[in-house]
Chain A
Amino acid sequence: MTGEGGNTYTFVLEDEDHTIGATLVDVLNQRGDVVFAGYTIPHPSERKVQLCVQTNGEISPQQALAAAAESLSSMCASTKVELERSLTAFKESLS
């Protein structure tokens, strides 16, 4: 991970692609304390994502990214709970 210091930081995610790049950028942008979040894949044949985060100074870019990743992980967990609920509801609607 490389940075420019201060409130702006560019992270390099090794062995990742659009799947995590786009989702993380979306979750980061939803935060009020993130001023900018964006990603690029510098070369299509290298599995590498550059993720740039700028915060308003209330938290560091590292903290913002960690919080966003945690949040994304929780989103998956809560989607899974909702999936189980809907599957049960679907089975009940059949019987």
Chain B
Amino acid sequence: MTRSSTGKRKSSKGGKDGASGSAPAETRLERDFAVSGLPDYLEAQRTRVFCGAESNTSAKYFGSAHSYATHGVSNSKTFKDFEEGMSIRVRKLNEEMMEFDLIGVSPSFANALRRILISEVPTMAIEHVFFLNNTSTIPDEVVAHRLGLIPIAADPSMFSYRGDAAGEAKNEKNTIVLKLRASCHGKKPGGKTNQGNGYGKVKSSELKWVPAGSEIPEETGVNFTSSQDTTPELKSNPVRPVHEDILIAKLSAGQEIELEAHCTKGTGAEHAKWSPVATAWYRLCPEVVLLQDMAGGAAEELLETFGSSVFSMGPSGLQAAQEPPLECLERIRALSAEDEWKDKLQLRKKKEHYIFTIESTGVVPPQELLRTALDILSKKAQGIVLKL
């Protein structure tokens, strides 16, 4: 782990090496988030969740400055402490997904980011659909709903929110116009001999961007003063559906759909179609702790059962890996509940170490979503300062 901590939270490895087999289980602790002056067993409870057979213990978060007042120890944390203790390590990153370690923040901070990612980071999504013709078997409102859920690749920062409901006119700053025209020409209704558009599948790739605005402005009330493709950013990166193969409807011979769809800016709080993530979640970093020095039969049994991804043989006996693989965790937990192993092995989770995953819908890259989420949280806090 590449954690760099200084100051009063600096690690002190006291207590660990003195434990030789018979010491209480809790004293076996890698003291990486140490609050100075706290006994080992309290420090273990402060930083770790213990995974027991039926339930987890010590799952509480000790965030208050006065948590250890009776021990005469201050647990207060300033911004400087936060800055020194907080770190991020990116594990995986591509256009749709990002997995990273978020270390040294409170559960509420991690959860605030998760909540904001899901429901407060804006995107563009189809909100109004004008049907010119729909002779398919799917009702207008069902098609409209399906269209709404299609992720539209358009940079939301290029657009503004449209004021209260219908209060503000739709223009090139707050609306994207898409059109769809699909028909099925064939001999047998619904048969495989349909020509043209395959079996008559209407896919998201049929949605075409109309940068000049609505083609039926009198009906839709959308008036663009300038074409959107005159904006360099939109010209070089035209609006399109993120995925081209999303099935919207199936047409039989002679059926057709013709419509115009208008995208507006919104957030997941109003409707999930505006949510920029498939989901965003985190879990606590697991840790396997050997409560006794182990060698011989028991050590070999563990090595054999779990392999080298969890345990390895070091100079001073068996050693547990920094982070055991996800698929082994429940087996370790189950094993640690057995009489034979409960004094030897324990599964724990680190309380201030989150393994955070952001799965983007593809509209905005995940790292950009995280930046926006941090900005939104910061702006919320600033808003409170201003209103006081």
Residues of A within 8 A of B (CB): 1, 13, 16-20, 22-27, 29-32, 34-35, 62, 65-66, 69-80, 82-83, 85-87, 89-90
Contact = CB atoms under 8 A, between A and B. Distances in A.
B377 A23 contact: yes
B283 interface: no
Contacts, number: 124
A62 B115 contact: no
A82 B86 CA distance: 8
Contacts of B374: 76-77, 79-80, 83
Contacts of A1: 387-388
Interface residues of B, number: 43
Interface stretch (B43-51, B71-79, B324-332): B71-79
Contacts of A79: 86, 88, 105, 374
A35 to B, nearest CB: 8
30 contacts: A17-B115, A19-B116, A20-B381, A23-B112, A24-B384, A29-B63, A29-B65, A30-B78, A31-B76, A32-B66, A32-B74, A32-B76, A35-B66, A71-B78, A72-B381, A73-B381, A75-B79, A75-B86, A76-B374, A76-B378, A78-B79, A78-B82, A82-B86, A83-B88, A83-B367, A83-B370, A83-B374, A85-B88, A86-B100, A90-B90
Contacts of A29: 63-65
Contacts of B83: 78
Nearest to B89: A86
Nearest to A18: B115
B95 interface: no
A75 B100 contact: no
B171 interface: no
- 9 smallest A-B Cβ distances: which pairs? A76-B378, A90-B90, A22-B108, A72-B381, A30-B77, A32-B76, A86-B88, A73-B381, A29-B64
B108 A25 contact: yes
Interface in B77-129: 77-79, 82-83, 86-90, 93, 100, 105-109, 111-112, 115-116, 120
Nearest to A71: B79
B378 A77 contact: yes
A89 B90 contact: yes
Contacts of B107: 26
A76 B113 CA distance: 10
B375 interface: yes
Contacts of A13: 384
B385 interface: yes
A78 B86 contact: yes
Contacts of B75: 30
Contacts of B100: 86
Contacts of B370: 83
Residue from B78, B108, B370 whose CB has the most chain A CB atoms within 10 Å: B108
Contact of B388 (A31, A66, A77, A85): A66
Nearest to B87: A82
Nearest to B115: A19
A27 B388 CA distance: 17
Contact of A31 (B65, B89, B108): B65
B77 A76 contact: no
Given A72-B378, A87-B367, 12 more contacts: A19-B120, A20-B380, A29-B65, A30-B75, A34-B65, A66-B388, A73-B378, A73-B381, A73-B382, A79-B88, A79-B105, A87-B90
Chain A CB within 10 Å — which of B75, B371, B381 has the most? B381
